[in-house]
Amino acid sequence: MSEGTMALSEELKHREQVLVICEAFFYFLTLSVAIIGNSCVILAVYRNTRLRTIPNYYIVSLAISDILLPLLCAPYSIAVVILGHWPFSDDVCQAQGFFVMILACASLLILTLTAINRFYRMVRTKHYRRIFTKSKTIIMISFCFGLACMEPLPYLVSGRRYVFHPGKLFCFQTTEISISNLLVYVFVGVPTFTLSICYVLVFKKMRIHQRTVQNLRSSSLAEDSITLADVKVTKILFVTVMGFLACWTPISVIDFVDTFRGKVSFPRQVYVLYFILGNLSGAINPFVYGVLNSNFRQEYKKIFNFRKRSSRIHHLKLDLTSQSIQHRRNRESTID
C-alpha cells in the first residue's frame, strides 16, 4: 500500500461522526433517486405506448444500466462510508470492480449509439428507417452491453486484480502505466470522439434546417423530412450526453492523472467529489426527461399520483360499503 493510499485510509477511519452521517445520508439519497427515477423512466415507457419509440429504447437501456450500477456496486461503498474501512472479501472487491467498469462503459456506449442514431435521423435521413428498426435497435443495444463486458478482460487476463481505493470508496484498477490499464482510455476515448463528431454534424444540419425554415424553402423541407419532434428528441438526447460528460470528464481526468503518476495524487476531498459525480450521473437523467419531454412528465405525475388515487378509491369503497350496510339496516328496522 502506497503512502498516499495509507493516508486516505487513515482519513477515512478517523472522520468525525457528523461527517460520516452526512456522507452516508447524501450517498444513500443520491442512489435512491437514481434507482427510483430510472425505474419511473422504464415504467413510463411501459405504460405509455406513445413513448415506445426507437430513441426511447436507448433511454430505457441507459436507465437499466443506471439502476444496475447502484444496486450491484453501491451497497458495499455505503457500508464503507459508515464503517470507515473495507469489511468484505477480496472476491466481493473483484466483483464490484468488474461491474463498475462494465456498467460505466455500457452507459457510454449506449450514449454513443444514440448519437449515431441521431446522425442518421438528422443527416442521413434516407437510410434511417432501414437501419434503425426496433429489432435491429435491440440487437445494437445488446451488442453494446456485450462489448462493455469485454472492457475489463485485458486487465484481468494480464493477472492484475482490483484493489479497494479508500478515496473513491470502491474497488478499482491499480494506479500504474500498462497496456491493460491504458486500454480503458480506448474504451472511453473512441466512443467519446464518435458521439462528439456525430453531434457536431447533427447540429450543423439543424442550423441549415432552421435557416431553410426561415426562408420558407418547402422543397428542401420535404427532402430533409426533419420534424419538430425529431429536433426535440435530439436536444433531449444531447442534454443527456452533456450531463454524462459533465460528470464523467472530471472522473476520467482524475483517473488519468493517478495512472500517469502511478500513485494517489489528490486529497480526499477530490475523491469525494469523484464519488459524488459518479452517483449523480445516474440520477440526473430522469429529471432531464421530465423537464424536456411532456409525455414523460405526464407519466411521472400519473405514477406518483397512483398511490394517492388508490387511497382515495379505497376510502370511497369503504364509504359506499358503510352506506350500503347502514341502508340495509334501516330497511330491516322499517320492516320490523
Q: Whose CA is closest to 286, among 69, 41, 13?
A: 41
Closest-CA residue to 121 (of 132, 135, 109, 136): 132
Residue type, 19: L
**In whole angstroms, what is the distance from residue 247 CA to residue 250 CA?**
7
pLDDT higher than 50, residue 279 = yes
Each residue of 82-95: pLDDT tens digit? 999 999 999 999 99
Choose the weakest-confidence range: 44-53, 170-179, 196-205, 209-218.
Answer: 209-218
Continuous segment of H or E residues that includes residue 171: strand 170-172
DSSP for 224-290, please give it.
H---HHHHHHHHHHHHHHHHHHHHHHHHHHHHHHHHHHTS--S-HHHHHHHHHHHHHHHHSHHHHHH
Higher-confidence residue: 225 or 292?
A: 292
CA dihedral (286, 289, 291, 296) in degrees, to 10, reads -100
Q: What is the mean pLDDT of the chain?
A: 84
Q: What is the mean pLDDT of residues 2-25?
A: 89
Quick one: average pLDDT of 131-147? 93
How many CA atoms lie less than 13 Å away from 274 in the CB half-sphere? 21
User: At which residue does the C-alpha cell 426507437 appear?
Assistant: 54
| pLDDT attached to residue 302 | 87
Residue 44, pLDDT above cutoff 80: yes
The C-alpha atoms of residue 240 and residue 108 are separated, in whole angstroms, by: 11
pLDDT at 218: 47
Q: Residue 336 pLDDT more than 80?
A: no
- The closest of 215, 76, 67, 54 to 141, measured between CA atoms, is 54
pLDDT band at residue 223 under the 50/70/90 scheme:
very low
Task: Name the pLDDT band for 220 (thresholds 50, 70, 90).
Answer: very low
- Residue-wise pLDDT for 302-333, tens only, equals 888 865 555 555 555 555 555 555 555 555 55
Grid cell locating 179: 497496456
Looking at the predicted structure, is the pLDDT value of residue 252 above 90?
Answer: no
Return the higher-pLDDT residue of 316 and 118: 118
Alpha helices in 84-173 (DSSP H): 90-122, 125-131, 134-150, 153-157
In this predicted structure, the answer to whether residue 112 has a pLDDT above a threshold of 90 is yes
Give CA separation, 191 vs 55, 108, 188, 290, 313, in Å: 18, 7, 6, 26, 50
pTM across the whole model = 0.82
123 Cβ partners below 8 Å, 6+ apart? 201, 202, 205
Q: Is the confidence at residue 130, as pLDDT, over 70? A: yes
Q: Which residues pair with 172 in a beta bridge?
A: 163
